[in-house]
Amino acid sequence: MISNSKPLQHTGAIVGRLAPSPTGYLHLGNAWAFLCAWLGMRSRGGRLIMRIEDIDPQRSKPEYIHALCEDLRWLGLDWDAGPGAAEPEHPCDQISDAGGTAPAHQLYQQSGRLHLYRQAMLELEKRGLAYPCFCTRKELRSLAGAPQAGEPAEVAYPGICRGLGPEERASRIAKGHNYSWRLRFQENFQERHLAFDDLVYGRVKLGMEQTGGDFAVCRSDGVFAYQLAVVLDDIAMGVNQIVRGVDIITSTPRQLFLYDLFDAPPPEYAHVPLVLDHEGERLAKRHASISLRGLRESGVRPEAVIGWLACWSGLRNEVALRSAGDLLNDFSFSAIKHEPDLLPPDIADILRDLSR
Ligand code: GLU
């Protein structure tokens, strides 16, 4: 199945990516999403890239890069380019925009690609597609009303700074007001950005309020937004299948819009269900006992992790020890359950027993 109303133009290689943020140890949920990205590529003979999404210097820690590569290799996954690739290809051959000042090995790390984001940002600004936004977080929060705990408010940015004249902008900047850069999404979007075909969930239709409306491409502290970086990187690296957690699905319209602005064909999307703990919470660092590292150290085998996830997700009917390769021959995104069960509270014990 091919997503989006705009036809895909990639007739050559299929390219996917693993795009972890090095902000902690990988957990069972990361293992599941990366397993799907691996299966999506390897089942079709595609190439897989490892790209480190360390764009936020406050949250990213270099020591986690080595750890995540180690954990994924332990799980039995491999990739063809980027940090930790088994037989790394020469990075400059693989990336279409390998210019700039970063050393070649950093081209698969967002922190080494800031010059490219800056260049694209300037272009968007020149084309009149981006505008400075002086709204503070506090102001935006009060406009949004009180969101449910942990839930992002489903309110589109009301466009307060969209219509400011050049003089007003210049005067605020001269006075030292902080500002982010937002994209004119709400005025320029098209229906095909809000409705697209997903390899797991089928036809998806989102409202403007779910996407947040005019979205930030650069924060007021100068950090480029995930939305911008991820699309530029995926275009530059020739990625044409994106597999990631369904929690990011509301980013997809914004990203489809960016593909259009950069005149690039959109990729296929497969959003996969999240692994939630027994209380329905997303996995996070506090779930240390079900980090891949924690599981491995307590005697769990990678085949137990994969075999259990395969049954939980609907890819297999019963739990058994399995390698990633065991799931390849009949792999299909459409077999994945849209709402799999919550994790049992004793999942670590279950995986340990299965490993015996
Ligand atoms: N780096 C993002 C994350 O760790 C994933 C981004 C994506 O797959 O588009 O959540």
- Establish whether residue 248 lines the binding site of ligand 1, counting it when its CB lies within 6 angstroms of any ligand atom: yes
Amino acid identity, residue 314?
G
Q: Which of 51, 68, 230 to mutate to test the pocket of ligand 1 (most atoms within 8 A of CB)?
A: 230
Is residue 325 within 8 A of residue 51, CB to CB? The reply is no
Is residue 206 within 8 A of residue 271, CB to CB? The reply is no
Pairing of the two strands 47-50 and 15-18:
parallel
How far does residue 11's CA lie from ligand 1's centre (Å)?
25
Beta-ladder partners of 47: 15
DSSP 325: G
The Cα 108–Cα 69 span in angstroms is 13
The Cα 162–Cα 77 span in angstroms is 45
- Establish whether residue 5 lines the binding site of ligand 1, counting it when its CB lies within 6 angstroms of any ligand atom: no
- Establish whether residue 21 lines the binding site of ligand 1, counting it when its CB lies within 6 angstroms of any ligand atom: yes
- Establish whether residue 220 lines the binding site of ligand 1, counting it when its CB lies within 6 angstroms of any ligand atom: no
pLDDT at 159: 92
11-20, 164-173, 230-239, 261-270: the lowest-pLDDT one: 11-20
Residue 319 reports pLDDT greater than 80: yes
Instruction: For residue 319, give both structure tokens.
Output: 């739990």
Q: Atom of ligand 1 at shortest distance to CA of 33?
A: 8
Q: What is the mean pLDDT of the chain?
A: 89
The Cα 314–Cα 316 span in angstroms is 5
More confident residue, 149 or 342: 342
How far does residue 245's CA lie from ligand 1's centre (Å)?
8
How far does residue 77's CA lie from ligand 1's centre (Å)?
18
The protein residue with its alpha carbon nearest to ligand 1, atom 8, reads 244
Phi-psi region of 263 (alpha: psi -120 to 50; beta: other; left: phi over 0): left
Instruction: For residue 289, give both structure tokens.
Output: 């006992």
Instruction: For residue 73, give both structure tokens.
Output: 């290799």
Sheet holding 47-50, edge to edge: 47-50, 15-18, 241-245, 268-272, 195-198, 202-205
pLDDT at 153: 53
Q: Which of 53, 59, 111 to mutate to test the pocket of ligand 1 (most atoms within 8 A of CB)?
A: 53
Q: Which of 15, 3, 6 is nearest to 238 (CA)?
A: 15
The Cα 105–Cα 65 span in angstroms is 13
Cα atoms found within 13 Å of the Cα of residue 317, Cβ hemisphere only: 0
pLDDT 10s digits, 25-76: 999 999 999 999 999 999 999 999 999 999 988 999 999 999 999 999 999 9
Instruction: For residue 259, give both structure tokens.
Output: 């593909």
Q: Which helix (H) or strand (E) holds 79?
A: none
Amino acid identity, residue 295?
L
Q: Which of 17, 21, 35, 108 to mutate to test the pocket of ligand 1 (most atoms within 8 A of CB)?
A: 21
197 alpha carbon, distance to own chain's centre: 17
Q: Which of 64, 226, 258 to mutate to test the pocket of ligand 1 (most atoms within 8 A of CB)?
A: 226
Amino acid identity, residue 149?
A
Token pair 């990678």 is found at 302
pLDDT 10s digits, 90-147: 444 445 554 444 555 568 999 999 999 999 999 999 999 999 999 998 887 776 554 4
The protein residue with its alpha carbon nearest to ligand 1, atom 5, reads 19
Q: Atom of ligand 1 at shortest distance to CA of 245?
A: 8
